[in-house]
Amino acid sequence: MKWNRFASIPVCGVLMVMGVVYYITIFIFIEDWVGLATSAGTLNAVIFTFMAALSLFSFAVSVLTDPGYVPSSSAPDVEAASVLDPETQKDVSFLINFSESSQLRQCEKCARYKPPRAHHCRVCRVCVLRMDHHCLWINNCVGYWNYKAFIVLVFYATAASIYSTVSLICIS
């Protein structure tokens, strides 16, 4: 877990946009549509607050969770009893099954053996297990440990955006 990943302009930008969209949706769109004092307004505000909270939570998890780094001890002759992730100390031996791959690959930059589906990230300067891509907006790689949080984030953020757009259409 690295809190300093929040110290990036795109990450702060996402947080600002989330805050602005939340404020506008509640205090302008829903307020002008049904009024916050009504039961319909309160219900809509509660539903949208819930969606915004889920988006914010999954965003924070995506940013803070280490994507899964290749342990320095990983080598083709490792019997995979238990190989610990250097950051999280979780057992990642099931990801480092060299017997599955017919041909061994070595990372030129890290000078370490690369397990199947691990890729080197130029931004993080490290090999990442089951790397999907490096996402600028979470200032982190999307890898084995945070891909679920990332997919959930995309889902909630899309749902909240649709909700906000519908409430805008309703007032006009």
Residues that bind Zn ion (CB under 5 A): 107, 109-110, 120-121, 123-124, 127, 134, 141
DSSP strands (E only) in the chain: 105-107, 112-114, 119-121, 126-128, 133-135, 140-142
Q: Is 170 a catalytic residue?
A: no
Least CB distance to Zn ion at residue 133 (A): 8
Half-sphere exposure for 115 (CA within 13 Å, toward CB): 25
Report the amino acid identity of residue 76. Answer: P
Least CB distance to Zn ion at residue 103 (A): 17
Residue 107 or 152: the one with the smaller Cβ distance to Zn ion is: 107
Residue 90 or 109: the one with the smaller Cβ distance to Zn ion is: 109
- What is the residue whose two structure tokens read 């302008």? 28
Residue 73 or 158: the one with the smaller Cβ distance to Zn ion is: 73
Least CB distance to Zn ion at residue 138 (A): 10
| Sign of the dihedral through C-alpha 38, 57, 151, 4 | positive
Active site residues: 135
